[in-house]
Amino acid sequence: MTALTRFALAATASLALLAGCSAAPAVTTPAAPAAPAGGSAVEVSGFKFAPATLEVAKGTKVTWTNKDTTKHTVTSGKDGTSDSKFDGPLNDAPGTFSFTFNEAGSFPYFCSIHTSMVGTVTVK
């Protein structure tokens, strides 16, 4: 083997080694939690519904998620009086309740445990 051939082989091996070392390692970023499929989300945090006012299309499934360390409810009605359209418990975090709105209209709701917590879903 000639000196030129040995040099060419050494150079090729060095380049291959460097190419393998220079590749950046794969970085994986965890995906953010997905919003409920086909619906809208309301977060319950700090004794508030957020957003307090939500506008959705007919047939939309709305999911409330409790981020507080205490229990809440999602009770349809106003002024602390249920109109019995929906009523769901929100147990300690991360409790959830979902309801599908199949009729157009305005649907006020409140927490039956903490009646100052209020919100409205408007269905178009």
Is there a contact between 98 and 62 (Cβ–Cβ < 8 Å)? Answer: yes
pLDDT value of residue 92: 80
With bands split at pLDDT 50, 70 and 90, how would you rate the model's confidence at 16? very low
pLDDT value of residue 100: 97
Region 104-108: what's the mean pLDDT? 98
DSSP 112: S
pLDDT value of residue 3: 52
Q: DSSP per residue over 13-65, as a string?
A: HHHHHHHHHHSPPP---PPPPPPPTTEEEEEEETTEEESSEEEE-TTEEEEEE
pTM: 0.68
Q: 40 has which bridge partners? A: 62
- Per residue in 17-45, pLDDT (tens digit) is 444 444 444 444 343 343 344 469 999 99
CA angle (66, 87, 115) in 5-degree steps: 70
Q: Where are the domains of the chain?
A: 39-123
Fold (CATH) for 39-123:
Immunoglobulin-like (2.60.40)
Please identify which residue in the block is written with the tokens 């998620």.
65
